[in-house]
Structure 1
Amino acid sequence: MLVAENVTYSYWGQEKPAVREAGVRVSPGSIVALVGPNGAGKTTLILCLAGLFEPHAGRIARHGADVRDGLRRHRARTGFLSEHYGLYSGLTARQSMEYAAQSRARAFPELLSSAARNEAIEQVAEECMVADLLDKDLDTLSRGQRQLLAMAEVEISRPPLLLLDEPASGLDPDHRELLAARLEELRAEGRAILVSSHILAELEEYATDLVVMQEGATLPQQSGLSPGSLRDVYRRLRAEARGGGHA
């Protein structure tokens, strides 16, 4: 389980924190929807959770231990997909996945051998529905195909924690459906997943938890969501926040 409490982060030269006293819990077998308008602080909070930004205040713990005490291990065992995940031009999809596997081999010895990496690539590509793309040039892939491939690269080392920043951004309906199906499979495997978005419709089918961000702060986390209930819970939280004066 990943638990963040009272996390605050400010960018240099800005008086107002981008994230202030934010909290979230990401448990195995859950999909936490991190929802808020553009500029609410979602990406900054995810970067803190991934161990890429160090909060100026607050604590982030994994299985009870502060992630700063084992930052390299935390990063290695976290699958982080940024909204603008880069794929190198001039490579095939297979070569790109091979590069991703090699970059994780030091932390995951099972990826050290070429044969093991090839097996992992084939298996993850099949699970992420990009097996038919492996021998295609990256430059020929559509936005949706590239996004699914990026998801496969994040999964290559089977990280138990996935932090996905706007993973469905720019996807057409078919590719969004494929992504949603994959997230459901990962949740069923017991992965701990956080997905950020400002589009409620793409989260409603699979989210088990909801965290709403506004102006850098988080509203109380809602757990045990039933399918199709996210939008109503979101509206209720926003109404309560306005009525209670929550900034």
Structure 2
Amino acid sequence: MLVADNVTYSYWGQARPAVAQAKLQVAPGSIVALVGPNGAGKTTLIHCLAGLFEPQAGSVRSEDGDIRADLRRHRARTGFLSEHYGLYSGLTARQSMEYAAQSRAPAFPELLSPTARSEAIEQVAEECMVADLLDMELDSLSRGQRQLLAIAEVEVSRPPLLLLDEPASGLDPDHRERLAARLGQLGESGRAVLVSSHILAELEEYATDLVVMQEGATLPQQSGLSPGSLRDVYHQVREQARTASHD
């Protein structure tokens, strides 16, 4: 569980906050779609949720309380994928996943065993549809293959919370389908997932909740979405916001 309550964050020298009194909730088993145009504040809010930026006002809470009480624990137990991620050159996909698993082992003791790490890598790679890539050099992978591998690395420790910033960016239709299938499975497994995008079609199949951002603010969260309803709900929320602003 993750709750953002009136989160506000401003970059130095900017008159308007990048995020202003944002509210949302990411519950176990839910896939929250964070939607808004470029520049709406989605990435900044996700950095606050991940414990990478400290809000100037408001709070971010997990089941353990305010995340600022133990940022190291929160970061370790959060699977965060940045829009601009990096993978090391000169490694195979398996070696890259091994590095990711070892870096998570202090927070997930089951990964301290080399055998357990190897099994986790094989299983997660299969689930993320990158098992056939494990012995390939990272430099030889396509953009879509690298994106799916990055998601597999985020997942290798089975973190209870996943924050994915524009995970479908640049993917071709085949890899988008694979990603959508995997995200749907994550929600069914009871994980708490937040996915940001500015493209509604990417989220239609799997989102259970919708949070719309505009000019740094969040509009009221919509829950219990049925497959294919996100686009209609999005336009309803935007219309309600426009009507309220004119009252």
TM-score strictly above 0.5: yes
Match of 2:223 in 1: 223
Match of 2:101 in 1: 101
Match of 1:40 in 2: 40
Task: Spell out, residue by residue over 1:199-224, the C-alpha distance to the aligned partner (whole angstroms, 9 max, x if none).
Answer: 00010111000000000000000000
Task: Spell out, residue by residue over 1:17-63, the C-alpha distance to the aligned partner (whole angstroms, 9 max, x if none).
Answer: 00000011000010000000000000000000001101000011112
Match of 1:128 in 2: 128
The residue identity in structure 1 corresponding to 2:175 is H
Match of 2:198 in 1: 198
Match of 2:156 in 1: 156
* Identity rate, percent: 82
Match of 1:142 in 2: 142
Runs ≥4 residues deviating over 4 A: none
What is the count of residue pairs matched by the alignment? 246
The residue identity in structure 1 corresponding to 2:108 is F
How far, CA to CA, are the matches of 1:201 and 1:54 in structure 2? 32
How far, CA to CA, are the matches of 1:141 and 1:23 in structure 2? 38
How far, CA to CA, are the matches of 1:126 and 1:25 in structure 2? 30
SS at match of 1:95: helix
SS at match of 1:167: coil
The residue identity in structure 2 corresponding to 1:229 is S
Task: Spell out, residue by residue over 1:143-183, the C-alpha distance to the aligned partner (whole angstroms, 9 max, x if none).
Answer: 00000000000001000100000000000111011011111
Segment of structure 1 superposing worse, 23-32 or 101-110: 101-110
1:61 aligns with 2:61: yes
**CA offset at residue 244 of structure 1?**
1.2
State the TM-score, normalized to the length of structure 1. 0.98
The residue identity in structure 2 corresponding to 1:90 is G
How far, CA to CA, are the matches of 1:12 and 1:90 in structure 2? 38
1:29 aligns with 2:29: yes
How far, CA to CA, are the matches of 2:193 and 2:179 in structure 1? 13
Q: Equivalent residues in 2 for 1:74-85 (5 A)?
A: 74-85=74-85
The residue identity in structure 1 corresponding to 2:119 is E
**CA offset at residue 110 of structure 1?**
1.0
**CA offset at residue 64 of structure 1?**
5.9
Match of 2:175 in 1: 175
Match of 1:240 in 2: 240
Task: Structure 1: give runs of 5+ residues left out of the alignment.
Answer: none
Task: Spell out, residue by residue over 1:65-108, the C-alpha distance to the aligned partner (whole angstroms, 9 max, x if none).
Answer: 11111211111110001111110111110110011011111111
What root-mean-square deviation, in Å, do the aligned CA atoms of Structure 1 and Structure 2 show? 0.9
Q: Equivalent residues in 2 for 1:204-219 (5 A)?
A: 204-219=204-219
Task: Structure 2: give runs of 5+ residues left out of the alignment.
Answer: none
How far, CA to CA, are the matches of 2:100 and 2:48 in structure 1? 22
How far, CA to CA, are the matches of 1:64 and 1:243 in structure 2? 38
State the TM-score, normalized to the length of structure 2. 0.98
SS at match of 2:3: strand
